[in-house]
Structure 1
Amino acid sequence: MSSSETIFPYISSLYSYLKGAIVASTGLAVLLSALLYFKQSEIIYPRSVPAGARTSVPTPQEFGIDDWETVKLKTPDGEMLSNFLLRTSRRPQLGVTVLFMHGNAGNIGHRLPIARVFSEQMGCHIFILSYRGYGHSTGRPSEKGLMIDAQTALNYLLTNPSTAGTSIFIYGQSLGGALAIQLVAKNQDKVAGLILENTFRSIRTLIPTVFPPAKYLARLCHQIWPSEATLPAIKGVPVLFLSGLKDELVPPSHMKTLYDVCTSTKLWRELPEGTHNDTCAEENYFDYIYDFISDITSGHSMDEIKPASDDVKKI
C-alpha cells in the first residue's frame, strides 16, 4: 500500500469529473451552472466513471479472495442490487461485520483492496453495498433511492445467518459517509459503531468549493444529503472521524464541523497527507479503524484505546 495509484487505479472523484468542464469564459460558466442544476444527479452520481464502470466489475476472486459471494438484494421499490459479501476466518472472536458504502464514482469491485484489509487483516466480515444504478445494480441513483438501498443491506445483515449475530459497523467514504450518517440515525439500536472518512456537511455547502460558478444555485439543489443537520440526532453510537488534511475536494473543515456537531461518543483522527481518494493509503489509517472496532467490541471506553497490534500495523 505504498501509493494511491497502486491501490486504487480505478477510483475517480467528483472533482476530476468536473474540473475539465470548468472554463474561463463567464458565459460558458453560466451555462455549466445551469447544467449542474438540471443534470445534478448525473454529476453527483458519476456512476459511469471511470469508463466501463457500469459493465466491468472486478470480483474478489481476481484479488485472491476465497471466501466470498455475490449477494443479490431486491429493494422494496423493485430494484436489484448486486453486492459482495466477504467472510473472514481470521480472528473470528471479533464477531464484526462492516457495511461498506463507497464514494460517488466507480463500483464495488474498485474497493476490493480496502475490503480485503478488513476481511484478511482485521478479521471482519465485510459487505460492500452496490448502490442502484452502479455496477451491475439496476435503477438510477438518488438520495431517496440510496437510503432505501442502505436500509435493505442492513436488514439483510441483521437476518443473514453468517452475520446476524455479529456487531455491525457502518463505514462510509465521502458520499458513502453521508449515506452512513442517514442510515445510522434511523437504526441506532442496531449498529455498534460509525466510521466516516472525508465526508461533507451537505451537498449544498459543498457545491461552492467543487464548482464555484454554480454557488448561487446551491440552495436549489434537490440532492441535499444533510449530514450536518442529521449527525446530532445520533446519540448512542460511537463515531470515528478520519480526515485527510490535504483533501482537494471536500475541505477538511467539513469533517471538523461534523465532528463538532456530533453529540455521541466520538474520536478524531487526522491523516496529514491524505487527499480525497488516497487517505485510506496513509500510514495508520487501518490501525485507527482496528483500534476503534476492537475497543468497542471489547467494551472499553473511548479513552482506553490501545495501540494497534503488530500484525495490523503491517497492513
Structure 2
Amino acid sequence: MASGHRGGIELSLVFQAKASSSTIPRALIYPSHIPNLARTEVPKPSQFGITDFEELMIPTPDGEKLSAFYIRGPKGRGHSNTTVLMFHGNAGNIGHRVPIARMFVQRMGCSVLMLEYRGYGLSTGSPDEAGLMIDAQTGYDYLRNRAETRDNDIVIYGQSLGGAVSIQLAAKNQNDGKLIGVVLENTFLSMRKLIPSIIPPARYLTLLCHQVWASDTYLPSITELPILFLSGLQDEIVPPSHMRRLYEICQTPMKVWKPLPSGDHNSSVMEDGYFDAIADFVANLESGGDAEKEKLVAHFSRM
C-alpha cells in the first residue's frame, strides 16, 4: 500500500464516499499514479545492470495488454528450473521492483516474470479486483505455455496488495503440479478489515468498499502448497496482526513464519534475513508426488 499523504487521502475518501453514497473510489485503493509519472516512466532492468531480459506485452482474455519483464536466470546454476511470478503493491510499477527481481536471479538463480496490472505502468485498462485476477491468471498461464518456462516450477511472490493477488491465484491453481510455493510479504486479511487501520474516519464506510480482497477467506482453502510469511513488525500501513492472523488460519502444514523486527511496510525487503529466508524456502521446494510432499511437511514442521 502507498504510505504518503495519508491525512489528505483520509478526508478525500470520506467526502467522496459520502458524496457518492455508493462506493469507495477505486483510485484510492489503486493509486497507480503514485509516484509521479508512474504510468509513463517505467525503469528497465538494463538500468540495474541486467542484460538478459525481455520486455513483453501480454494480451488478456478480455482484451487488455499487460506490460511485463521476463528476466532469465543463469542457465545450469541455482534454481534455473524455477520461475518466480512477482506481484507488487498498490502503488508504483514493475520497474520500481527490479532490484528485488535482481536478487532472485543473483541469489537463487531463478528466472522472474514481473507482471504489471491493468491500469498500472504501461499496461492498458483500469484496475479492479476482478480484472487484476484475470491479469494474474494470464501471467500464470503465460509461464505454463511459454516453451522456455512450461516445464519450470513456479513460485508466486506478492507484496501487500500483491499478496492478496497471490493468495487468490494460488488457491485457484494449487493442484497444478508446477506451482510449488508462495511467498507473502506484509499483506492483509481483507480490504474491508484494513480500511479502519489506515483510514480511521472511514471505518463506518467499509461496506462501501466493493474491492473486497478477502484473503482470510481464500487462504484457508490452500492446503497443498508451502507458504512463507514475511512480516515487518513495524509495518505502519498493514498492522502486523493481519499477517499473523493469516499465518494462523493457514491450513497447509507447510508454512513458515519469518518476522522482520525492524521492517516497516516499504523497507522490509531491505531487512537482514529477508532474502536468506526466501532462498532457504525455495531451496527446499520441489515438485513431485506424495513422497516428496511428506518430506516437505517434515522439513517445514521443523522451521
Length-normalised TM-score, structure 2: 0.91
CA distance in 1, matches of 2:39, 2:14: 30
2:296 corresponding residue in structure 1: 301
Cα displacement (A) at 1:162? 1.5
Deviation at 1:16, TM superposition (A): 1.7
User: 2-side partners of 1:168 and 1:143: how far apart?
Assistant: 23
Whether the aligned pair in 2 keeps the contact of 1:198 and 1:255 (CA below 8 Å) is yes
- CA separation of 1:243 and 1:91: change in aligned 2, threshold 3 A: farther
Deviations 1:289-308, CA, capped at 9 Å, x for gaps: 01001111395525536xxx
Give the C-alpha shift of residue 93 in structure 1: 5.0
| Aligned with 1:255 (options 243, 252, 274) | 243
CA deviation vs aligned residue, 1:255-305 (integer Å, no higher than 9, x gap)? 011011110121111000000001010000000001001111395525536
Whether contact under 8 Å (2:16, 2:24) holds in the other structure is no
Q: Which residue of 2 aligns with 1:138?
A: 124
**With structure 1 as the length reference, what TM-score do the two structures score?**
0.87
- Matched to 2:282, the amino acid is I
- The DSSP-based 3-state class of the residue aligned with 2:3 is helix
CA shift at 1:40, angstroms? 2.4
Which residue matches 1:194? Answer: 182
Matched, 1:275 2:242: no
Match of 2:135 among 141, 146, 149: 149
Does residue 182 (structure 1) correspond to residue 163 (structure 2)? The answer is no
What SS does the aligned partner of 2:66 have? strand
What is the deviation of 1:189? 1.9
CA–CA distance in structure 2, aligned partners of residues 137 and 257 of structure 1: 33
Q: Distance in 1 between matches of 2:62 and 2:222?
A: 27
> 1:172 touches 1:179 (CA, 8 Å); kept in 2?
yes
CA distance in 1, matches of 2:297, 2:85: 21
Give per-residue Cα distances to partners, 1:85-107, cap 9 Å, x unaligned. Answer: 10011653521100000000000
Q: Provide, for residues 153-181 of structure 1, a one-character-per-residue CA deviation record: whole Å limited to 9, x for no partner.
A: 00000111121111100000000000000
Output the CA distance in 2 between the equivalents of 1:96 and 1:17. 39
Structure 1 residues 262 and 175 mapped into 2: Cα distance closer, same or farther (>3 Å)? same
CA distance in 2 between partners of 1:170 and 1:29 (Å): 32
What SS class does the counterpart of residue 92 from structure 1 fall into? coil
After TM superposition, give the deviation of residue 122 of structure 1 in Å.
1.3
The residue correspondences of 1:192-271 to structure 2 (distance < 5 A) are 192-264=180-252, 265-271=254-260
> Which residue of structure 2 aligns with residue 54 of structure 1?
39
Equivalent of 1:102 in 77, 88, 113: 88
**Letter of the structure 1 residue corresponding to residue 263 of structure 2:** G
Q: Is the 8 A contact 2:73 2:111 kept in 1?
A: yes
1:286 correspondence with 2:302: no
Q: How many residues align?
A: 289
Question: Is the deviation greater in 87-96 or in 140-149?
Answer: 87-96
Asked if structure 2 preserves the Cα contact closer than 8 Å seen for 1:295 and 1:302, the reply is: no
What's the C-alpha RMSD, in Å, of the aligned pairs? 1.9
Structure 2 residues without counterparts, runs of 5 or longer: none
**Cα displacement string for residues 63-110 of structure 1 (whole angstroms, at most 9, x for unaligned residues):** 110100012110000000010010011653521100000000000000
Question: Deviations 1:131-151 (Å, cap 9, x if unpaired)?
Answer: 001000000000000000000
Alignment of 1:66-105 (within 5 A): 66-89=51-74, 92=77, 94=79, 95-105=81-91
Deviation per CA, 1:187-211: give whole Å up to 9, x if none. Answer: 0122100110001000000000010
Q: Which of the residues 135, 155, 177 maps onto 1:169?
A: 155
Change (3 A) 1:35 1:45: farther
Partner Cα distance (1:30, 1:137) in 2: 29
- Cα gap change, 1:30/1:145 in structure 2, threshold over 3 Å: closer, same or farther? closer
Among the aligned pairs, what percent are the same residue?
50
**Corresponding residue for residue 31 of structure 1:** 15
Classify the secondary structure of the residue corresponding to 2:284.
helix
Distance across 1 between alignment mates of 2:14 and 2:174: 43
**Structure 1, unaligned stretches of length 5 or more?**
1-12, 306-315
Q: 1:194–1:240: 8 Å Cα contact kept in structure 2?
A: yes
Q: CA deviation at 1:32?
A: 5.2
Mapped to 1, the partners of 2:242 and 2:193 lie a distance apart of: 9
Cα distance in 1 between the residues matched to 2:257 and 2:76: 26
| 1:192 alignment partner, SS class | strand
